[in-house]
Amino acid sequence: MNNSTKANRHERRRMAKMYRSTITMDEYLKLETICAWKGCTRTTNLNNKDDGWSNMIMYRGELKLNFLEIDPKMMERDTALCPEHARFLDKNLKYIGNDLRDTQGSA
């Protein structure tokens, strides 16, 4: 391997790092998410709270009551389900004393 090849690889790495950018929370909330159900193509805006979509975080490790405390390395999924597939999933889970419910207006 000659020196120009090494320099080229180094320059490519540096350029890749230069293009990393951040977005604002407003920009993040305007992003669309697609239903995680295989084959479903429904999408929603992340900021759309009253459209019946369910957010779902799957992670390994001990139970955390605050999702900000979850180690990102332990997250397996951070996704959403459309209303139809959220209801379907709920109907196919074991009953543990509380059904999927309309939470609009609840505290």
- The whole-number pLDDT of residue 84 equals 95
The answer to whether 77 and 58 are in contact (CB under 8 A) is yes
Any domain includes 66? yes
Domain count, the chain: 1
Q: Alpha-carbon distance 57 to 65, whole Å?
A: 12
Structural domain span for residue 85: 3-92
Residue 44: φ, ψ to 5°:
-145, 160
- The whole-number pLDDT of residue 83 equals 93
- The whole-number pLDDT of residue 95 equals 80
- The whole-number pLDDT of residue 22 equals 82
20-76, pLDDT tens digit by residue?
678 888 887 788 889 999 999 999 887 766 678 988 888 999 998 888 899 988 988
**Residue with structure tokens 């405390």?**
69
Q: Alpha-carbon distance 80 to 82, whole Å?
A: 7
- The whole-number pLDDT of residue 85 equals 95
Any domain includes 103? no
Any domain includes 97? no
Any domain includes 101? no
Any domain includes 102? no
Any domain includes 104? no
- The whole-number pLDDT of residue 107 equals 39
| Across 96-101, average pLDDT | 66
Any domain includes 65? yes
Any domain includes 23? yes
Q: Alpha-carbon distance 23 to 95, whole Å?
A: 40
Stated as kind and residue range, the H or E segment containing 84 is helix 83-92
- The whole-number pLDDT of residue 78 equals 83
Q: Which of 17, 5, 83, 13 is nearest to 48 (CA)?
A: 83
**What pLDDT band is residue 105 in, cutting at 50, 70 and 90?**
very low
Q: Which of 27, 49, 40, 25 is nearest to 82 (CA)?
A: 40
